[in-house]
Amino acid sequence: MSTERSPWRPPRPDLEAIEGLTREALTSARNLTPQVLEHLLSAHEVLGERAAAWLREELGSLESYEIDLLLSPVFTPAFATRLRFEDGL
């Protein structure tokens, strides 16, 4: 009779739950951050009340790196959002 123990393995993440959290996080409504609004004002002379319309009308004319720089703060998850993923991982 062998007394050897198999190595401890962490539980596998619930991929369906993580997929659901990811879907929810990426499709939820977002507010433009002060950083984004400041950039729109300084680089494109767009005031806050015109920001949503400007994004709908002009976003496609920007270079991809400009879109990344502009929208990255909007899609960077807040600490509370990241904590929701931690349980599933």
Global confidence as pTM: 0.62
CB crowding 33-42: b at 16 or more within 10 Å, else e: eeebeebbee
Using DSSP's 3-state secondary structure scheme, residue 6 falls into coil
What is the rounded CA–CA span in Å between residue 37 and residue 35? 6
What is the rounded CA–CA span in Å between residue 29 and residue 88? 23
Asked if residue 45 lies in contact with residue 53, where contact means CB atoms within 8 angstroms, the answer is no
| Domain residue extents for the chain | 32-88
User: What pLDDT digit, counting tens, does each position of 7-31 carry?
Assistant: 888 888 888 988 998 999 889 888 8
User: What pLDDT digit, counting tens, does each position of 38-85 carry?
Assistant: 999 999 999 988 999 999 999 999 999 999 999 998 888 888 888 888
C-alpha closest to that of 34 among 73, 77, 79: 73
